[in-house]
Structures are given as C-alpha cells and as structure tokens.
Structure 1
Amino acid sequence: MKITFLGTGTSQGVPVIGCTCEVCCSVDYRDKRLRVSVHLQIEDKSIIIDTGPDFRQQVLRERIKTLDALLFTHEHKDHTAGLDDIRAYNFLQKKDMPVFGEQRVLNQLKQEFPYIFSGANYPGIPRVALHPITEAPFEVEGILVIPIRVLHYKLPVMGYRIGDFTYITDVNYIAPEEMDKIRGSKVVVLDALRHEPHISHYSLQEAVEVLTELQPEKAYLTHISHLLGRHRHVEEQLPDFISLAYDGLQFEV
C-alpha cells in the first residue's frame, strides 16, 4: 500500500490569508499546507479519504488518474468541499463514484450539494453512489476497512484502519476500546493542531502522548496549523518514530 499525503493543513490551510508570521512567510515547501486529505494506492485500487476545498489541486499535483472510492471522516467543510470535482473521474471511468460515510455525513453532503441529489439528469453533474457505514468493519473494492470512532469535541468522527495503516484526523479524544483497534498498526497518522490545548483537536504534546502509548513503528502528524511552528523546528523536538507529515509526502506500508 502506497500512502500520499494530499494535504496536511488545518481548516484555513497554511499560509493563512493575510498572515505574516514566520510559518506563513516560510519558503520551505513543507510549510505549505493544503487542507487535510490522503490518498491510498492498494495494488490497483485508488482510494481517497476526504475531499477538501483543495481536492482538484491535490489530485492534479499527484497525477491521480483513477479513483475507485471516497471515504469521509466527518462533514466539516474543510473535508467535503471538493466533492464536485469528482466529475472528471465520472467522465473518465464512466461510472458513479462510491462514497462511504456515516448517514449523518451523507445527509450533510445532500444539503451541501443538492444538485447532485436532485434527481435531475443534468449533463455534467457529479455522479455518486452513497454507502452508509456504521462502526462495523466494511469493505471497499474488496479491501477491509475498520472504522475507529473518535471525538472532535462533541462531534463523532471516523478514523480508518486499513491493514497496518491507521488514519485519524480531527480528534481530541479516543476511547480505550477504540485505542485497542489501532494497536498493532505499523503506521499511525494523528491530528496535532498546535502547541496550546484546543477544544476539539490534539495539541502536539497530547498527540505525542497517544502515539507513545500506541508505539507504532512509525507515526505522522497532520491537520497542522501555522501556530505549530516551522516544519524543521518542530521535527527537532519529536521522538525518533514520529514525524510531521507534509503535502506530497509518500511512503509504503
């Protein structure tokens, strides 16, 4: 399985509009962060988790020519706003796009993109096939996906474990029984917004504590704001098995 980080930034992205801080003015490409998303290439299957506002730019940058399914973690706009751009894949692949998410999330997509679900056979609109999920494991194109229930303040969010890879974003609490589902993953990706505590995201220290308990072979931090600091400075503070993710980073599990 090849993993590509399409975006590693928080809801505003980095740089933040109008900000002149050290991070937003950095010329280091690792400090340029689009909204959070990840691509999984599993043999001949192509899956993306979340389609934020930068979806089109991300898939063009990474030359992702096929897409077999979308998984959504939750309904916030920075994770769903790019759904319209799947139209290109509909045209190329000549089929509806399978979309997996909790019923609450799928209902929100219907509100955000009413023209997709109006029933009108208008040429050029995105074509989707909705697949409601629960906390039970499910399959995508024959690939087993284990949902991980986490909390984003009071909002239930799904993380996903696929094989030895676990991806969790927008989280500030993981229950013990859900932690057990993550254990044994070789690679874990986890939310780490900034240094200071936040009401709905892990801080850097909190994320490191969770990952230290889990002890995967490798861990990456994502959903990073400009308040966390320069990539190269933060990297120097992390345990050896933890790294900051950055846009375009690829690895295999």
Structure 2
Amino acid sequence: MALDFSLTFLGTGTSVGVPVIGCDCNVCRSTDPKNKRTRSSVILQAGDQSILVDSGPDLREQALREDLRVVDAVLYTHAHMDHVVGFDELRAFCWARTEPLPLYATEECMSTLKTMFSWAFSPQNVFKGYIKPGERLIEGDFTIGALKVTPLPVEHASVKTIGFLFDYPGARRMAYLPDVKRIPEATLELIREVDVLILDALRPEVHPTHFSLGEALLTAEEVGARETWLTHLGHDNDHAALEKSLPKGVHVAWDGLRLPGIC
C-alpha cells in the first residue's frame, strides 16, 4: 500500500512568501525556481484520499500548478492568516461533492474559522457552489481511510498550534511541523526516529516564534529522523547555498517536491 501514499509540498515559504514584495535581495531576485516559495502547505495522497494540510492564501495558484482537482479533507495546524485565508478557494473542491467537506482543527482553530468565515458555517448557507464545511474537532488520534493522523502539539506564538504525524500501512512515517518555536517532550517522544521529519526553519537568526536554522538542526539531531526536510523558509535562505551547508540526511524542501511513501 505504500505506493498509494505520498506527500507533496504545495508551498514552503514563510507568511509573506518569497520573493517578498518590494525586496531586491539576491534570493528575491533569484532565477532559481526553488527560491520561489508560496505559503507553506502540503497535500497527501493516501489510497483514494487527497488530504490537504492548511488552506493558505496561495491555494489557488498551488492547486493549478499541481493539477489538484480533488480534496477529500482539510487538516489545520493553526489559525494564523498564512494558513487559513485561502479558505474560500475550497469551493472548487466542493462542487462535485454531495456531502460537506471535512475540516479537522482544534477547538480554538475551528472557532476562529467559524468567526472569519461565518457565512460558510451558517445554516443559511444552502446555495449551490459555496463551500460546505464539515466540522471535525481534533481531540486525539483519528483516521481518514487507512491513514492514521496523530496531532502533535507544539509552541508557536500565542495560538494553539499542532503538527501532524502520518502513519499509512507499509509507508514511511512522516511528521509535519511547519510552525514551531518549541516542541514539548511528549511530542518529541511521538516523533523520535520517525522516517521523515518536516520542520520549520525560518531563517539563520533567532526568531521569537519560529525555529531558526540552528534550532531546527538541533531538533533534527535529537529526533533522529532518517530524513529531515526544512520548510517555512524566508528570503534569508538561498536554496542552493543552504542545501550545500546542511549535514547528511537534512535537505531543503521546495514547492512541488513530492516525497513518496517508500524510498
């Protein structure tokens, strides 16, 4: 079944994306396509299920680029703008559905979604063509088809934030932590020696709410993942230069990169 599982990076950028508006730095002016980073998000193919993680502001562009035509569920890490404001683009994935689109989020995140997009959750939302959200509160492990999803609580700014651990029969175990400043010990225990670790690494310098590159590398070493991919990258990071500087087993993700279930 591992051949039926994969994870694709729809976006690998920070909240403002790369290039940054009005910036003339070498990375923002780079012609290397791997330095073009839309807001962080991934799509998983698990058997016949297509599972989106976060609906950022670049969702339309990402879906067109990857020829993404079906989304069967959406998982949310937290309610910051760069992870939720592409919500209305989910309409396109509801047009062929007869049932509401399942949205998985913590109670805090779901509350924010219902405030920001109250029209979608309203009982009066009966018009054809609008997104029809199916509320699913994350209160522990859950399954979508054959995929087991374990929420991974982390510390990031002042909002409740989670990552996800994905277990699919016969496939590599993958942990996705795109926004994190500190990982509690209980979460570390869940991801020790995971096959694939995907980790926030905003910039070389220390940041108050995100891992710096140094913090990400220390965490990768502590976790002992067989393979680590860095994401949520700002314009302080040139793809080629950063890739050359990394230790064995750690790599820089890019928009469109697909990680197969087996390697």
TM band (smaller chain): over 0.9
Question: Does the residue aligned with 1:160 lie in a helix, a strand or coil?
Answer: strand
Q: Which residue of 59, 65, 70 corresponds with 1:66?
A: 70
After TM superposition, what 4+ stretches of structure 1 lie above 4 angstroms from structure 2?
Answer: none
- 1:184 Cα deviation after fit: 3.0
Unaligned runs of 5+ in 1: none
Q: 1:89 offset after TM fit, Å? A: 1.3
Structure 2 letter corresponding to 1:200? T
Q: Provide the C-alpha distance between the structure 2 equivalents of 1:206 and 1:43, rounded to a whole number of angstroms.
A: 35
1:75 match: secondary structure = coil
Query: Are 2:135 and 1:130 aligned?
Result: yes
- 1:199 aligned partner, one-letter code: P
Residue 7, structure 1, aligned to residue 23, structure 2: no
Structure-2 residue corresponding to 1:207: 216
Match of 1:63, SS state, is coil
Residue 100 (structure 2) pairs with residue 96 (structure 1): yes
Matches within 5 A, 1:85-164: 85-120=89-124, 121-134=126-139, 136-163=140-167, 164=173
Unaligned runs of 5+ in 2: 168-172
CA-based RMSD: 1.1
Matched, 1:198 2:207: yes
1:3-82 equivalent positions in 2, closer than 5 A: 3-82=7-86
Q: Deviations for 1:3-26, whole angstroms, at most 9, x for unmatched residues? A: 100000000000001100000000
Q: Distance in 1 between matches of 2:98 and 2:42?
A: 24
Native 8 Å contact 2:51 2:73 kept in 1 = yes
Deviation string 1:126-176 (CA, Å, 9 cap, x unpaired) is 111010112x21122342111111000333211100110100011010011
Question: Which stretch shifts more, 152-161 or 35-44?
Answer: 152-161
- Give the match for residue 176 of structure 1: 185
Aligned length: 251
Moved more, 195-204 or 176-185: 176-185
C-alpha distance in 2 between matches for 1:53 and 1:65: 17
Q: Are the equivalent residues in 2 in contact too, given 1:38–1:48 (CA < 8 A)? A: yes
Cα distance in 2 for partners of 1:209, 1:111 equals 38
**2:94 aligns to what SS in structure 1?**
helix
TM-score normalised by L of structure 2? 0.93
Match of 2:258 in 1: 250
The answer for the alignment partner of 2:170 in structure 1 is none
Contact 1:115 1:125 survives alignment (8 Å):
no
